[in-house]
Structure 1
Amino acid sequence: MTADRGTRTPLAILAVIAVVAATWIAAPVFAPVAFALFVIAIAWPLQRRLQSRLPKLMALAVVVLVTVVVFLAFASVIVWGFGRVGRWVVSDAGRFQLLYDQIADWLEGHGIAVAGLWADHFNVAWLVRAMQDVIARANTTLTFWLVVLVYVILGLLEVDDTARKVGAMENREAARILLSACTETAAKFRRYMLVRTAMSVLTGALVWLFAVLAGLPLAAEWGVIAFALNYIPFIGPAIATVFPTLFALAQFASWEAALAVFAGLNVIQFVIGSYVEPRVSGTALAVSPFIVLFAVFLWTFLWGVIGAFIGVPITIAVLTFCAQHPSSRWLADLLGTRRDWGRPTT
């Protein structure tokens, strides 16, 4: 028995490594499927209500239309916010050039030759490669969303049939685990997005108000950027704090003003992320902050921006499935923040 346990642990570690490696190598295959399942879990209640009153295909068309509109609206808001900031930077290039010159002089006075680094790395060839990379990423992103949309359409059509097939499985314990875990995971996904959206709206509103009171230009744009980036835990709020700080440094030409902006934005992010959000989400979505940070960085490494967005929901799904069986429940107990995290009710 001891020998068997000693063998299982290395095999389990090797299996986890193999799964992570396969997830990274086959990211173009797995990432759209994972994101589509996430969207299906959120959209299914609407599909179920509509198809009880409308033909199934018509209900599906309405759900797909709503989904596309939501994604387009979100993308438009992001493009508007960053686009406005980008245009302001271009129109006020002289002030940013002055800031750059001051920083470069200070660095060169301390033995760091910024001009040489700039000439070596930021040249015409680099700009051409950067533009080619942007175009390639845009094409890849469009292809990704088209594949996700196809998976969502097919998945919504097969939810009922899949549930019936699972319910008819001979292995009743496996059927129970699958049905219970899928139902609970979908409910947690919906609650996660509801809480995350509410906190993003609150964060955006407070950042906008703070920018107005601080006299920072583009207050609405900074609020929109903070709203959008708040959907990515840790990384998003950090970026939403750094950008306005650099902008304030250029606009006010004062380290004290930039430091005050940085401190104020961090207070907003800390209060919402560490105080308000945990109390709104409750224990149903309780995951160790260490695990949340690890999940964000791991899935960002594996799948890029999509992984950063969906890393925490994937972690919630894994812990929910682990909590359904006694042999894996210890993992949910260990990585959650309460002892009975995600346990099935009896």
Structure 2
Amino acid sequence: MTGTGGGRMGVSLVAGILVLALFYVAQSIFAPLIFSLMVIALVWPCQAILERRLPRLLALLVTLVVTMSVIIAIGSSVAWGFGKLGHWLFLNADRFQAIYVDWTDWLEEHGIAIAGPLADRFDVTWLVGFVQSMAGRVNSFAGFALLVFIFVMLGLLEVEDFNRRLRVPAAQPYGERILTANRIVGAKLRRFMVVRTFASILTGIVVWIFALVAGLELAGAWGAIAFALNYIPFLGPFVATALPTLFAIAQFDSWQMAAVVFLSLNVIQFIIGSYLEPRLTGASLAISPFAVIFAVFFWSFMWGISGAFIGVPILIAFIVYCAGVPSSRWIAVLLSGGSKLDPDS
């Protein structure tokens, strides 16, 4: 029996690795597909309400227009923000270069040598290239958005028929389990995204106001970047805090002012992300912080920026499906934020 159980576990492990390898190789298809499934779970209630008042195709058109407008607005805010930063950095590259040389000399005078890989890689040219590449990657999501539009359109037309097929006797007992899991996943994702959107808007506004008060240039760009990147837990707020700090060093030519910017932005992120947001999401969305940060980094490695955005929704769905199966319920307990797990919440 032990050998049989170990063999099944080995087969499952190999199958899981092969599936992940397929996801990585075919990311141009699977990334927009998974993103589309998340969007469908979020907007389906709106589509169902509109269908009671409007013809089905008209309701679908309204839902698609609103949905794609939101997606494009978020992507465009990132592209606009990084585009402004890239332009500013290109015009002020000499200021960064002078500060970089002064700091390097000061550190070496005090016995701290940074020659080697860090000195070879981190220079102004690299920083300009990083900012421009971030803007370019977001600007190049036209093909991704087109696939998402197609998948969402077809998926919304298919939802009711798919649910009916899951309820037929031939699909039981798995059909009802999938329906229950889908209902829970949809509710959790909608709650997560509503709270995350509120927190992102609030973060963007507060960062924009702080940048104006502090006299930091490109205040609007910092607010837009903070708003969009706040959808990515841990990694997004880190980038939205580190970049203004680096630019504050060049603008004010003072490490004290850069420290004030860094500490202030961290306080903003902490109050909104670590205090306000958890109280709005509630215990039903409590997830292990380690699992969250692993999901963000893992799916960003797999699918880039789009993977970073949907890493946590994928984790939420994974936990719900594991909780619905007795043999894998222990996985859901380990990944959740508490010792108790209610699969129906």
| TM-score in terms of structure 1 length | 0.88
Q: Deviation of residue 104 (structure 1)?
A: 4.8
Sort the Cα spacing of 1:159 and 1:227 in 2 relative to 1 into closer, same or farther, 3 A.
Answer: same
Which residue is equivalent to 1:96? 96
* Distance in 2 (alpha carbons) for counterparts of 1:340 and 1:122: 51
Pairing 1:313–2:316 present: no
Which residue is equivalent to 1:335? 335
Sort the Cα spacing of 1:27 and 1:4 in 2 relative to 1 into closer, same or farther, 3 A.
Answer: same
Sort the Cα spacing of 1:86 and 1:46 in 2 relative to 1 into closer, same or farther, 3 A.
Answer: same
Which residue is equivalent to 1:192? 192
* Distance in 1 (alpha carbons) for counterparts of 2:54 and 2:282: 36
- SS class of match (2:327): coil
Consecutive unaligned residues in structure 2, runs of 5 or more: none
- Contact 1:203–1:268 (Cα < 8 Å) also in 2: yes
Sort the Cα spacing of 1:64 and 1:216 in 2 relative to 1 into closer, same or farther, 3 A.
Answer: same
- The AA in structure 1 aligned to 2:32 is P
Which residue is equivalent to 2:231? 231
Q: Deviation of residue 170 (structure 1)?
A: 1.9
Sort the Cα spacing of 1:171 and 1:70 in 2 relative to 1 into closer, same or farther, 3 A.
Answer: closer
* Distance in 1 (alpha carbons) for counterparts of 2:269 and 2:59: 39
Q: Per-residue displacement from partner, 1:96-131 (whole Å, max 9, x unpaired)?
A: 34323423544676655689947x9969xxx8xx99
Deviates more, 1:153-162 or 1:258-267: 258-267
Q: Per-residue displacement from partner, 1:174-208 (whole Å, max 9, x unpaired)?
A: 11111000111111111111011111112122222
Which residue is equivalent to 1:76? 76
- SS class of match (1:216): coil
Q: Per-residue displacement from partner, 1:20-73 (whole Å, max 9, x unpaired)?
A: 222212212211110110111111111111111111111111111112222232
* Distance in 2 (alpha carbons) for counterparts of 1:292 and 1:139: 27
Cα RMSD (Å): 3.0
Which residue is equivalent to 2:201? 201
- The AA in structure 1 aligned to 2:52 is S
* Distance in 1 (alpha carbons) for counterparts of 2:119 and 2:332: 52
* Distance in 1 (alpha carbons) for counterparts of 2:125 and 2:98: 18
- SS class of match (1:287): coil
Alignment of 1:115-130 (within 5 A): 117=120
Q: Deviation of residue 150 (structure 1)?
A: 0.6
- SS class of match (1:301): helix
* Distance in 1 (alpha carbons) for counterparts of 2:322 and 2:120: 50
* Distance in 2 (alpha carbons) for counterparts of 1:35 and 1:116: 38
Sort the Cα spacing of 1:4 and 1:112 in 2 relative to 1 into closer, same or farther, 3 A.
Answer: closer
- Contact 1:320–1:342 (Cα < 8 Å) also in 2: no
- The AA in structure 1 aligned to 2:184 is E
Which residue is equivalent to 1:23? 23
Sort the Cα spacing of 1:344 and 1:57 in 2 relative to 1 into closer, same or farther, 3 A.
Answer: same
Q: Deviation of residue 86 (structure 1)?
A: 3.0
Q: Number of paired residues?
A: 340
* Distance in 2 (alpha carbons) for counterparts of 1:76 and 1:135: 9
| TM-score in terms of structure 2 length | 0.88
- Contact 1:319–1:342 (Cα < 8 Å) also in 2: no
